[in-house]
C-alpha cells in the first residue's frame, strides 16, 4: 500500500480498457440486500410506494401554495395591465418598480420547489420573460447583469472587465457584439414584442389587447434576498429604475426571515424606487402538520413508522432545518431501508396483493415469520395442537398469516379514525394534556397504551368539566370524523348518534328531584343553630357529608358520564400500540439509529474516528495497532492528534514537537540509543507544522495569547 499516504505525492492510475457496466436502480437495490430471494418484488413494491409518496407530496405542495401563488399571479397581472392604461402614473410614480415581497420562512431547502412552480405559472399565464437569480452566482454587479441577460435573451454574454469598471450601468462592448446593459435588453425586448404583435392577425398596432397584455412584464426573481450583497442589489435597482419607462420590469423578492430585511438592506433612497406588496406563505409547521396528516396518518398507505423513527424525523425538522422536503426525504429513506433490510416487506402492500404474496412465500420466508417476536407471542397464546401446526405445517401457517394480515388492516382502519376523534376531543383542553398537534398524540399512542398515561386521565377529568354546548360540539365533530374516515365503525357511529339525540332531548326533560335534594342537604344545617355539644356537632357534620355523597346526579351529568365512558371504551378498543399486533414487523420500520446516522450526521465524531483508527480508512496493515493506540507509521496528523489527547487545556508546542519527533524517529527505524533519535530536523519540523495547521483547520486547537508558544485545546475525549 505505497499510495496510502497523501503526503508522499500524486499518483496516476490509468483507467481500465474494459468499460464498466452501468448498474440500474434495481441492481443497486439487490446488491447487499438482505435475503436476495424475492428482492425484485420488494424493489418494485418499494418503487411504487416511493412514487406514491412523491406524487402525493407534490399535489399537497401545490394545494398549500395555491393561495399565495394565485395572489402573486393576480398581482403581476394587475401591474402589467395597469402599465398599459393612462392610470399608470396615478397608481405609482414613473420610476417605481412593482415588487412582490414573498415571505417564505426559514425552511430554505423548500424554497426551490416553490420558485420553480411560481416560474412555470408566470410563464404560462403572465409573461414568457421570467428569470431567477441566486446570491451565490451574483457576487458583483457585472455577474448579476450577466446572469439576467443570459437567461432572458438566451444568448452567451461576456463582460469586458476594464470597461465594466468605468461605468457599470452604461453600454459596454462585449466580445460577441452583445452589450451587457439594460439598453441591450430593452432593444431585444422591443424587437420581440413587435414581432409577436405584428404576427397576430386582427389587431391594430398600438391598441391594447382585451384578452391579455401586449407588453408582458420582465419578471426577475431574487430567490434568497438576505444572501445578496446589499451594494450590488442597490446598484442594480438604481439602474433598473432608469429603464422602467422603456422596459416593464417587475421584481419578486424571496425572503426567509422578515419583511424588514428590505429596509435593513436598502436605504430609503433606493427602497423608495420600489412599489412593494407583501405576500406571506403558509408556515412550515402548518405544512408539516398537513403532510403528516395526509401521508403518515393514512390507513391506505401500507408502510408505517414506529414512534422512535417518527420522533427522529420530527426532531430533525424542529431543531435543524424546518424543511418539509427533508422530512419527506427521511420518510423515503426509511421506506428504502425497510424494503432493503426486511425480507418480509414483500407483504407490505395493499391487502389483495399481500394475501397473494403470502401464498407465494418459500419455506425460508415462513421460517422468518416463525422467528418474529410478535408471532412468537401469538403462538404462545394458542392451544398446544395449534402451536404444533403453526410450527410444522407450512400450508396452515400461510392460511393463518392471511387472517393475521386482515386483522392488521382492520386495526389500521379503526386506529386512525379513533385517533382523530380523541385529538378532536382533547386538542382544545387547557394546557393540552395530550398535545396540541395530532402528531404528539400519535407518538404517545405508538409508544404505549394511551389510557395508562396520566395525561389521558387528566384529559378525561377536564372533559367532565365542559359545558353541555361544548361537549355536544366535540361529540358532533367526532361523529363527522367517523362518518368521513371509516365506514366499518358503524356501531360506534350509531351509538354516538344515539348519545347526541339524548343530549338534544335534555332541555325538554324537567328535573323534579332538585328541590328534594336541596331540602335533604339543608335539613341538617337547621339543627346547627340550636345549643349542642361537641358530639352532637360531629354527628351533624357527618350526616351532612353523607348527604352530599348520596346526592343524585343530574340527567346531564349521567349522560355526560355515559358519553365519556363510550369514548374511553372506543379508545381502549382501537388505540393499542402497533407492537401488540401480530406481524406488525411487516409494515413498521423500527431502526431509528439507521435513520439518525444517515440524516443527522456527526462530522466531528467521524473525524475523530478517522484520526484515532486510520487503518479502517486506509486499509494499510502497517497501521494496525492495539485499542487506544496509534501506530508510529500512521500519517502525521494522526500522530499529532494522538499526542494532543495526552495534553491538558494548553499545549506547549515545543514539547509537542519533541514528542512527535520521537514517534517519527521510531517509525523510521532509528535505534533509541543513537544520537539522532528524537532529534528535530527541518523536515520533521515542517511535517509537524503542517499537521498542527490541519488540526487547527479542523477545529481541534486554536492559537492563544495566554502563554507564549502554546495553543489551546478545543475538544475533549476521543474515539
Residue with cell 481500465: 16
Residue whose grid cell is 366535540: 474
pLDDT of residue 423: 96
Residue entry with cell 397608481: 91
- The 10s digit of each residue's pLDDT in 73-96 is 999 888 877 665 545 444 556 678
Region of 217 on the Ramachandran plot (φ > 0 left; ψ -120 to 50 alpha; else beta): beta
Q: For residues 210 and 369, give the distance between their C-alpha atoms in angstroms, rounded to a whole number.
A: 70
User: Domains of the chain (ranges plus CATH)?
Assistant: 28-63+284-449+575-601 (no CATH), 92-195+214-282 (3.40.50.300), 603-713 (no CATH)
Q: For the residues 496-505, what does the mean pLDDT come to?
A: 91
- pLDDT digit string, tens, across residues 29-71: 887 776 777 888 999 999 999 999 999 998 988 888 888 999 9
For residue range 461-493, list pLDDT tens digits in order: 999 999 999 999 999 999 999 998 877 788 999
pLDDT mean over 416-431: 94
Average the pLDDT over each of 223-232, 268-277, 363-372, 610-619 and give the range with the smallest value: 610-619
Q: Which range has the worst mean pLDDT, 59-63, 166-170, 254-258, 524-528?
A: 166-170
Q: What are phi and psi of 274, to 5 degrees?
A: -110, 135
Residue 585 is predicted with a pLDDT of 95
> What φ, ψ does residue 271 adopt, rounded to 5°?
-65, -25
3-state DSSP helix/strand/coil % of the chain, to nearest 5:
60, 5, 30
**CA 483 distance to own-chain centroid:** 31
What's the pLDDT score for residue 627?
63
Distance set, CA 641 to CA 101, 362, 573, 611, 624 (Å): 50, 53, 59, 7, 17
Whether residue 676 is predicted with pLDDT greater than 70 in this model: the reply is: no
Which grid coordinates are listed for 384?
Answer: 398446544
Whether 630 shows a pLDDT value over 80: the answer reads no
Torsion sign over Cα 242, 244, 246, 252: positive
Task: Look at 452-461, 537-546, 666-675 and tell me which has the smallest mean pLDDT.
Answer: 666-675
Looking at residues 404-409, what average pLDDT do you find?
95
- pLDDT average, residue stretch 108-134: 91
- Is residue 453 within 8 Å of residue 463, measured between CB atoms? no
Of 415, 106, 55, 83, the residue nearest 287 (C-alpha): 106
Most confident of 12-21, 173-182, 554-563: 554-563
pLDDT digits (tens, 9 = 90+) for 211-240: 444 689 999 999 999 999 999 999 999 999
Residue 517 has pLDDT above 80, yes or no: no
pLDDT tens column, 542-600: 777 666 655 677 888 899 999 999 999 999 999 999 999 999 999 999 999 999 989 98
Helix (H, G, I), strand (E, B) or coil at 304: strand
**What whole-number distance in Å separates Cα of residue 608 and Cα of residue 593?**
20
Tell me the C-alpha distance between 89 and 184, whole Å: 25
Please give the sequence-ordered ranges of beta strands (E in DSSP) within 112-206, or none if there are none: 130-133
Q: Provide the total of helices (H) and of strands (E) in the chain, helices listed first.
A: 31, 10
Q: Under DSSP, is residue 692 helix (H, G, I), strand (E, B) or coil?
A: helix
317: DSSP letter: I
Q: Say if residues 345 and 339 touch (Cβ distance below 8 Å).
A: yes
Q: Which of 388-392, 548-552, 553-557, 627-631 has the highest mean pLDDT?
A: 388-392
Average pLDDT over every residue of 513-527 = 46
Residue 440 region by backbone torsions, left for phi larger than 0, else alpha for psi between -120 and 50, else beta: alpha
Q: Running DSSP on this structure, what letter comes out for residue 151?
A: H
Residue-level pLDDT at 495: 93
Q: Burial letters for 499-530: b for 16+ Cβ neighbours within 10 Å, e otherwise?
A: bbebbeeeeeeeeeeeeebeeeeeebeeeeee
Q: Looking at residue 179, what is its pLDDT?
A: 65
Answer whether 0.85 is exceeded by the pTM. Answer: no
Q: Exposure string (b/e) for 154-165, b if CB count within 10 Å is 16 or more?
A: eeebebeeeebe
The pLDDT of residue 539: 77
Asked whether 286 and 322 are in contact (CB, 8 A), the reply is no
The pair phi, psi for residue 76, each rounded to 5°, is -65, -40
Q: Given a cut of 50, is residue 135 above it in pLDDT?
A: yes
Exposure b/e, 650-688, CB count within 10 A at least 16 = b: ebbeeebbebbbbbbbeeeebeeeeeeebebeeebeebb
Comparing 80 with 342, the larger pLDDT belongs to 342
Mean pLDDT of the 348-374 span: 93
CA 67 to chain centre: 22
The length of the chain is 719
Is it the case that residue 190 has pLDDT exceeding 80? yes
Give 258-303 pLDDT, tens digit per residue.
Answer: 999 999 999 999 999 999 999 998 889 999 999 999 999 999 999 9
Instruction: Provide the angle, in degrees to the nearest 10, between the axes of the packed helices 592-599 and 324-341.
Output: 130
Provide the pLDDT for residue 666: 78
Amino acid at each position: 500500500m505505497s499510495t496510502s499516504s497523501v503526503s508522499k505525492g500524486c499518483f496516476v492510475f490509468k483507467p481500465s480498457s474494459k468499460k464498466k457496466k452501468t448498474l440500474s436502480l434495481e441492481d443497486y437495490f439487490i446488491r447487499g440486500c438482505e435475503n436476495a430471494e424475492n428482492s425484485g418484488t420488494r424493489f418494485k413494491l418499494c418503487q411504487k410506494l416511493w412514487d406514491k409518496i412523491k406524487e402525493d407530496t407534490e399535489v399537497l405542495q401545490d394545494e398549500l401554495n395555491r393561495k399565495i401563488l394565485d395572489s402573486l399571479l393576480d398581482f403581476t397581472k394587475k401591474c402589467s395591465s395597469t402599465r398599459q392604461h393612462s392610470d399608470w402614473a396615478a397608481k405609482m410614480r414613473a420610476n417605481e418598480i412593482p415588487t412582490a415581497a414573498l415571505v417564505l420562512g426559514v425552511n430554505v431547502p423548500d424554497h426551490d420547489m416553490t420558485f420553480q412552480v411560481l416560474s412555470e405559472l408566470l410563464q404560462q399565464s403572465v409573461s414568457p420573460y421570467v428569470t431567477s437569480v441566486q446570491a451565490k452566482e451574483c457576487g458583483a454587479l457585472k455577474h448579476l447583469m450577466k446572469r439576467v441577460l443570459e437567461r432572458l435573451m438566451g444568448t452567451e454574454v461576456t463582460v469586458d472587465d476594464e470597461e465594466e469598471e468605468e461605468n457599470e450601468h452604461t453600454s459596454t462592448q462585449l466580445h460577441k457584439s452583445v452589450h451587457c446593459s439594460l439598453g441591450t435588453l430593452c432593444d431585444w425586448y422591443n424587437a420581440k414584442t413587435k414581432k409577436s404583435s405584428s404576427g397576430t392577425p386582427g389587431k391594430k398596432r398600438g391598441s391594447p389587447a382585451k384578452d391579455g397584455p401586449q407588453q408582458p412584464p420582465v419578471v426577475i426573481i431574487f430567490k434568497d434576498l438576505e444572501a445578496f450583497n446589499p451594494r450590488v442589489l442597490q446598484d442594480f435597482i438604481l439602474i433598473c429604475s432608469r429603464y422602467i419607462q422603456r422596459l416593464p420590469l417587475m421584481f419578486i423578492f424571496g425572503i426567509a426571515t422578515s419583511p424588514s430585511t428590505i429596509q435593513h438592506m436598502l436605504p430609503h433612497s433606493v427602497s423608495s424606487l420600489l412599489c412593494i406588496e407583501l405576500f406571506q406563505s403558509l408556515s412550515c409547521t402548518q405544512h408539516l402538520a398537513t403532510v403528516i396528516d395526509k401521508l403518515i396518518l393514512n390507513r391506505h398507505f401500507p408502510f408505517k413508522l414506529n414512534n422512535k423513527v417518527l420522533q427522529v424525523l420530527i426532531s430533525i425538522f424542529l431543531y435543524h432545518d424546518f424543511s418539509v422536503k427533508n422530512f419527506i426525504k427521511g420518510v423515503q429513506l426509511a421506506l428504502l431501508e425497510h424494503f432493503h433490510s426486511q425480507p418480509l416487506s414483500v407483504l407490505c402492500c395493499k391487502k389483495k396483493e399481500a394475501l397473494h404474496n403470502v401464498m407465494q412465500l418459500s419455506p425460508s420466508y415462513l421460517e422468518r415469520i416463525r422467528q418474529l417476536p410478535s408471532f412468537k407471542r401469538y403462538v404462545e397464546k394458542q392451544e398446544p395442537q395449534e402451536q404444533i401446526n403453526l410450527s410444522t405445517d407450512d400450508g396452515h401457517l400461510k392460511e393463518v398469516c392471511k387472517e393475521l394480515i386482515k386483522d392488521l388492516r382492520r386495526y389500521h382502519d379503526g386506529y386512525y379514525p379513533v385517533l382523530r376523534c380523541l385529538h378532536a376531543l382533547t386538542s382544545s383542553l387547557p394546557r393540552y394534556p395530550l398535545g396540541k398537534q395530532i402528531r404528539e398524540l400519535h407518538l404517545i399512542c405508538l409508544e404505549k397504551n394511551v389510557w395508562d398515561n396520566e395525561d389521558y386521565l387528566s384529559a378525561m377529568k377536564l372533559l367532565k368539566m365542559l359545558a353541555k354546548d361544548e361537549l355536544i360540539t366535540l361529540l358532533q365533530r367526532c361523529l363527522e370524523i367517523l362518518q368521513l374516515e371509516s365506514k366499518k365503525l358503524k356501531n360506534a357511529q350509531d351509538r354516538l348518534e344515539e348519545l347526541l339525540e339524548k343530549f338534544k332531548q335534555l332541555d325538554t326533560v324537567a328535573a323534579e328531584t332538585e328541590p328534594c335534594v336541596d331540602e335533604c342537604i339543608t335539613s341538617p344545617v337547621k339543627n346547627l343553630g340550636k345549643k349542642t355539644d361537641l358530639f352532637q356537632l360531629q354527628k351533624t357534620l357527618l350526616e351532612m357529608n353523607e348527604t352530599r355523597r348520596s346526592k343524585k346526579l343530574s340527567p346531564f351529568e349521567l349522560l355526560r358520564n355515559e358519553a365519556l365512558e363510550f369514548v374511553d371504551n372506543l379508545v381502549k378498543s382501537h388505540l393499542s400500540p402497533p407492537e401488540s399486533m401480530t406481524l406488525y414487523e411487516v409494515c413498521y420500520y423500527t431502526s431509528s439509529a439507521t435513520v439518525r446516522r444517515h440524516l443527522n450526521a456527526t462530522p466531528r465524531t467521524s473525524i475523530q474516528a478517522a484520526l484515532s483508527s486510520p487503518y479502517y480508512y486506509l486499509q494499510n496493515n502497517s497501521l494496525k495497532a492495539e485499542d487506544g493506540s496509534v501506530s508510529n507509521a500512521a500519517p502525521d496528523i494522526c500522530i499529532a492528534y494522538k499526542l494532543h489527547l495526552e495534553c491538558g487545556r494548553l499545549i506547549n508546542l515545543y514539547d509537542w514537537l519533541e514528542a512527535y519527533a520521537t514517534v517519527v524517529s521510531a517509525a523510521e527505524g532509528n535505534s533509541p540509543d543513537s544520537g539522532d533519535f528524537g532529534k528535530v530536523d527541518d523536515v520533521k519540523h515542517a511535517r509537524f507544522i503542517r499537521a498542527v495547521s490541519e488540526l487547527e483547520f479542523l477545529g481541534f486547537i486554536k492559537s492563544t495569547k495566554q502563554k507564549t508558544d502554546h495553543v489551546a485545546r478545543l475538544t475533549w475525549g476521543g474515539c
